Chain A
Amino acid sequence: MASISPSAGQKRRFSLPQGLPLKIGVLIAIGLLIAAPLLRILFETLAPNSISAWNDVVLSPLSRNLLWIPLGNTMILGLGVATGCVLIGGFLAWLVVMTDIPFRRTIGLMATLPFMIPSFATALAWGSLFRNGRVGGQTGFLEGLGLSIPDWLSWGMTPTLIVLTAHYYSLAFTVIAAALATINSDLVEAAQMTGAKRGRIFMGIILPVALPAIVSGASLTFAGAVSNFAAPALLGLPVRMQTMATRLFGMIEIGQSARGYVIAILLIAVSALFLWFGNKIISGRRSYATITGKGGRAKRFTLGTAKYPLFAAAALICLLTTVVPVVILIASSVAPSSSALFSNWTLHYWIGASTPTIAQGQAGVFYNPFIVSATTTTISLGLVVAVTGSILGLMIAFTLARYRTGFLSGTINQLSFLPLLVPGIAFGAAYIALFGAPMGPFPALYGTFALLVIAGTAYLVPFAVQTGRAVIQQVSGDLDESARLTGAGFFRRMTAITVPLASRGIAAGALIIFVKIVRDLSLVVLLFTPTTPVLSVLAYRYASEGFTQFANAITVVILVISIAATLLANRLQTKSQPWLKN
């Protein structure tokens, strides 16, 4: 391996700006995978017969309801959810990683779950508690007790903010926990020995060191919140609250896709602006490398008398955001009536044979001829994309962490984040258009597993980059430098130093990718061929026919796969997760 870049060649390369070849390589890769499909969507809106959509959206009497009000709502949601997620996720991460809170392991596991539970289940959970009579039908539990729930608590911005925070905080938790775990306790001990108070240690050491992870967590949750469709659609519509995501979906649904794409592009632009500020904060500050060549030992804060109140708070958060939605989800896969989730349970929707009297003779999901092939395809797709996405994400994260400044780095950073904000169905359509036809010697990829892997990799790169980057940034550049001086090539340095040391962040990212691709529908819905569906497509098919119980049963299967993956990953990582050890 060392022969790839002999030290003689190394010297000559110093004439080039440092890292230029790496930057250019990475830029070409994401240019092809991310920029090309996005440009295609952009050009779609610039075609002669759709360019008027720009005027309609931005500068017409329609703009107020089409763009400005939804944009305002979207930004409130994005900022509110990002703040809430960082506070809750950061709080839990601190408890789990740095303190002696009881049941650390359990809390750590539960805090990663909400992201795996579809946000519609969390929204339904909210409804089953807080729903009032505005929409009619069954009211929620609290109104059932005789309480009167005002509209603002049942519908609109407040519940959407809460539900999305409950759904996305686990992303912030995962990223921040991975970063906190790398803080060498020498730093904390040194501070303690010199008599620093806890507050001072927190503000002076922990917070600054965790800042990249906090910004990453905020960015991911911001992007998640602004592009989420299910929660604002379920909770916002009854009081006519629209977000960019619900508008976008609606425009495409009623055949006005040009306007939809314009809204998508504006959503990307505005979000990119917000995220650019986040990036400024990271690249402007000094580097805090905390993973050095020396081994670190974990030492925990003792919480003392605050131990049990804090534990109660953490347990309550976990219960409300994981157990309640999971129970609702499972109940809605066994209850014949969606308005009475806890009566007349039956397993028909799971294992029942076809009877004409129930659900138009639809047999249980285990009789679906596609169930086995869909499960296999889903899991293999999840695994492959987790690997490819992590590799690409790692290359990008490494480039960004080592060479923070400069135009190229800025471009790479922005580009690598964009797919988060693109509606999956638009991304999928652009991919078919770009890679569907034969290109030179390459055959048409349409309908192949390969196309799905490529698209999935590109689509989920932001997660790998954001999770990996926070950790890689902390790996001391000295290690990389010394290896380079002794003649180790890029790949050698990567596999021998960066990857092992940053393994926690990388594994966290890979897991998020796996979960995301396993349950994500919008991207795969166009890319997959008719005969080989994945599980999320099966669920969607049932739901669109009004067979919600069957759809929810499939969703439970997806949830089980996700949780199994998490447990497995935890097991494999226990060695490298000192915060989970006592």
Chain B
Amino acid sequence: MKLKTLLATTALAGFLAAPSLAQDLDAMSAEELLPLAQEEGTVTVYSFTSRIAAVEAAFEAAYPGIDMIGYDASSTEQIARLQAEAAAGIATADVIYISDAPVVLTQLLDAGLIEAYVPPRVDGLLSDEFKSPLLSQRLSTKVLMYNEEAHPDGAPVDNLWALTTEDWAGRVIMVDPLQRGDYLDLMVEFVLRADEMAAAYEAHFGAPIELDAGVDNAGLQFITDLFENDLVLVSSTDDVNAAIGSIGQSNPPIGFTSYSDRRDNEDEGWALQVANEVEPSNGIVFPALLALSTNTQNPAAARLAIDFLMGDDSETGGAGFAPFYVAGDWATRSDIAPHPDAVPLEDFIGWSIDPVATAEIRQEIADQILILQ
């Protein structure tokens, strides 16, 4: 591919120019980076969340003399933009703050558009899965949620397979997995966890699972049965939230959405609650990633910004992490305390996705779902 060649050449040129510099910078502490960063004077962050505006204010207060430019764009838009910019030989971003890990790994990291950086300060506070192949800053979810007003005694299901039964025909809702990457990742996870899905089937129906012709694992069987049970698809997470959560419903649907959207219950008139006692799991937990742009013009400031976004050493991560310290999202750093209003991560039953394994079979699963529709 032409793009790749171009990138390789650009990256190569960068390496030849300063091979040792990048390594030196990687090992520097925030204090050591600061004077270099101040010399650079500016850092542009592509962020998939608008909360970058709050980070920007805090960063500029903490490090006067460095102008942070926060640019809020969806993961898909960031990927398209980075690819287009690379093809045109332009570099505007220094730091990439992005979701959609499976796509990011294949289309950005493997293509050489971004590279990993772990601030030495937090290196010891993160488990390996959060450091490689890219740094994870926090974790979000797509999990089974129900209406707690209609079901005050807890979730109306205790096994995912219940969703494929007559009781829930036409009453399970989610965003079309062929329109939103995180929902596709959820589907992929069912397949990657096929053994657990098979065990849960037996626990629910009392007999071992029998696979349909052309279906080769319990995960795909679950997806098939779910679609055949008149699964309702909508186009945005907010539609899912309103459908499940709106108060005053006698028979609300159940479905997959973000745990952290529960924080909007009061504003929106919802009664969203997570189902955390479900066999074999309630859904997926996935990372928000931080990476350096390969062609960054401000390598020190970029590293300093990532360091800042990882939070300080206080219990809640301080000003850099404050916008992300919400119920339903979890810090990856082991020393940041869980949010008091949410289930702590260690008690949460959601599956953590493996972006590499997900990326491998993602397209195949998407194709299977396409046929089911």
Q: Given the known A-B contacts A134-B170, A250-B176, A548-B238, are A255 and B79 also in contact in the complex, defined by CB atoms under 8 Å?
A: yes
> Whose C-beta in chain B lies nearest to the C-beta of A368?
B53
Q: Does B81 make an interface contact (CB < 8 A)?
A: yes
Q: Does A582 make an interface contact (CB < 8 A)?
A: no
User: Is the CB–CB distance between B253 and A250 below 8 Å?
Assistant: no
Contacts of A531 in B (CB 8 A): 69, 71
Residues 330-373 of B contacting A (Cβ, < 8 Å) = 362-363, 366-367, 370-371, 373
Contacts of A337 in B (CB 8 A): 267-269
Q: B181 contacts which of A254, A339, A432 (Cβ < 8 Å)?
A: A254
Q: B373 contacts which of A136, A234, A242 (Cβ < 8 Å)?
A: A242
Complex Cα gap A526–B246 (Å): 35
Contacts of B27 in A (CB 8 A): none
Contact with A along B194-216 (1 / 0, CB 8 A): 00000000000000000000000
How far apart are A36's CB and chain B's nearest CB, in angstroms? 14
Among the stretches B88-96, B118-126, B281-289, B300-308, the one at the interface with A is: B88-96
Q: Given the known A-B contacts A136-B173, A246-B179, A254-B179, are A336 and B268 also in contact in the complex, defined by CB atoms under 8 Å?
A: yes
Residues 228-255 of B contacting A (Cβ, < 8 Å) = 232-235, 237-239, 242-246, 249, 252-253
Q: Does B61 make an interface contact (CB < 8 A)?
A: no
Residues 60-96 of B contacting A (Cβ, < 8 Å) = 69, 71-74, 76-77, 79-81, 83-85, 87-90, 92
Q: Does B193 make an interface contact (CB < 8 A)?
A: no
User: Is the CB–CB distance between A429 and B50 below 8 Å?
Assistant: no
Complex Cα gap A137–B272 (Å): 12
User: Is the CB–CB distance between A238 and B234 below 8 Å?
Assistant: yes
Complex Cα gap A337–B50 (Å): 21
User: Is the CB–CB distance between A138 and B246 below 8 Å?
Assistant: yes
Complex Cα gap A40–B308 (Å): 40
User: Is the CB–CB distance between B238 and A338 below 8 Å?
Assistant: yes
User: Is the CB–CB distance between A526 and B234 below 8 Å?
Assistant: no
User: Is the CB–CB distance between A546 and B253 below 8 Å?
Assistant: no
User: Is the CB–CB distance between A240 and B80 below 8 Å?
Assistant: no
User: Is the CB–CB distance between A530 and B80 below 8 Å?
Assistant: no
User: Is the CB–CB distance between B267 and A359 below 8 Å?
Assistant: yes
> Whose C-beta in chain A lies nearest to the C-beta of B233?
A237
Q: Given the known A-B contacts A238-B234, A526-B81, A544-B74, are A254 and B373 also in contact in the complex, defined by CB atoms under 8 Å?
A: no
Q: A432 contacts which of B71, B88, B107, B244 (Cβ < 8 Å)?
A: B88
Q: A250 contacts which of B83, B87, B178, B243 (Cβ < 8 Å)?
A: B178
> Whose C-beta in chain A lies nearest to the C-beta of B49?
A545
How far apart are A335's CB and chain B's nearest CB, in angstroms? 10
User: Is the CB–CB distance between A542 and B268 below 8 Å?
Assistant: no
Q: A136 contacts which of B1, B50, B246 (Cβ < 8 Å)?
A: B246
Contact with B along A530-553 (1 / 0, CB 8 A): 110000000001101111100000
Q: Given the known A-B contacts A255-B181, A433-B88, A545-B49, are A136 and B252 also in contact in the complex, defined by CB atoms under 8 Å?
A: yes
Contact with A along B106-136 (1 / 0, CB 8 A): 1100000000000000000000000000000
Q: A254 contacts which of B1, B85, B90, B180 (Cβ < 8 Å)?
A: B180
User: Is the CB–CB distance between A446 and B181 below 8 Å?
Assistant: no
User: Is the CB–CB distance between B88 and A256 below 8 Å?
Assistant: no
Q: B92 contacts which of A257, A525, A530 (Cβ < 8 Å)?
A: A530
Q: Does B274 make an interface contact (CB < 8 A)?
A: no
Complex Cα gap A250–B81 (Å): 17
User: Is the CB–CB distance between A137 and B92 below 8 Å?
Assistant: no
User: Is the CB–CB distance between B181 and A436 below 8 Å?
Assistant: no
User: Is the CB–CB distance between B371 and A62 below 8 Å?
Assistant: yes
User: Is the CB–CB distance between B371 and A446 below 8 Å?
Assistant: no
Interface centre among B84, B176, B233 (most CB of A within 10 A): B84
Contact with B along A240-261 (1 / 0, CB 8 A): 1010001101111111110000
Q: Does A195 make an interface contact (CB < 8 A)?
A: no
How far apart are B108's CB and chain A's nearest CB, in angstroms? 10
Complex Cα gap A136–B89 (Å): 48
Q: Does A447 make an interface contact (CB < 8 A)?
A: yes
How far apart are B26's CB and chain A's nearest CB, in angstroms? 26
Q: B90 contacts which of A136, A444, A530 (Cβ < 8 Å)?
A: A444
Q: Does A47 make an interface contact (CB < 8 A)?
A: yes
Contact with B along A439-450 (1 / 0, CB 8 A): 000001011000
How far apart are B11's CB and chain A's nearest CB, in angstroms? 17
Q: Does B7 make an interface contact (CB < 8 A)?
A: no
Contacts of B242 in A (CB 8 A): 137-138, 338-339
Interface centre among A49, A359, A360 (most CB of B within 10 A): A360
Q: Does A61 make an interface contact (CB < 8 A)?
A: yes
Contacts of A444 in B (CB 8 A): 88, 90
Q: Given the known A-B contacts A61-B371, A338-B268, A530-B69, are A234 and B85 also in contact in the complex, defined by CB atoms under 8 Å?
A: no
Complex Cα gap A526–B81 (Å): 6
How far apart are A436's CB and chain B's nearest CB, in angstroms? 3
Q: B269 contacts which of A234, A249, A339, A530 (Cβ < 8 Å)?
A: A339
Complex Cα gap A255–B100 (Å): 9
Contacts of B275 in A (CB 8 A): none
Contacts of B49 in A (CB 8 A): 545
User: Is the CB–CB distance between A135 and B234 below 8 Å?
Assistant: yes
Contacts of A237 in B (CB 8 A): 176, 179, 233-235
Complex Cα gap A425–B233 (Å): 24
Nearest 7 Cβ contacts at the A-B interface:
A436-B88, A530-B71, A136-B243, A255-B103, A136-B253, A250-B179, A432-B84
Q: Which residues of B contact A (CB under 8 A)?
A: 1-2, 44, 46, 49-51, 69, 71-74, 76-77, 79-81, 83-85, 87-90, 92, 100, 102-103, 106-107, 170-171, 173, 176-181, 184, 232-235, 237-239, 242-246, 249, 252-253, 261, 263-264, 267-269, 326, 362-363, 366-367, 370-371, 373
19 A-B contact pairs sorted by A residue (CB < 8 Å): A47-B1, A135-B173, A136-B171, A136-B243, A136-B244, A136-B246, A136-B253, A234-B235, A237-B179, A253-B180, A254-B180, A255-B76, A337-B267, A337-B269, A338-B238, A436-B87, A530-B71, A544-B72, A544-B74
Q: Which residues of A contact B (CB under 8 A)?
A: 47-49, 56, 61-62, 64-66, 134-138, 233-234, 237-238, 240, 242, 246-247, 249-257, 336-340, 358-360, 425, 428-429, 432-433, 436-437, 444, 446-447, 525-526, 529-531, 541-542, 544-548
Given contacts A255-B106, A432-B85, A530-B92, 17 further A-B contacts (CB under 8 A): A49-B1, A61-B371, A65-B370, A135-B243, A136-B246, A136-B253, A137-B239, A138-B246, A240-B373, A254-B362, A255-B76, A255-B107, A336-B268, A337-B268, A429-B80, A436-B88, A525-B77
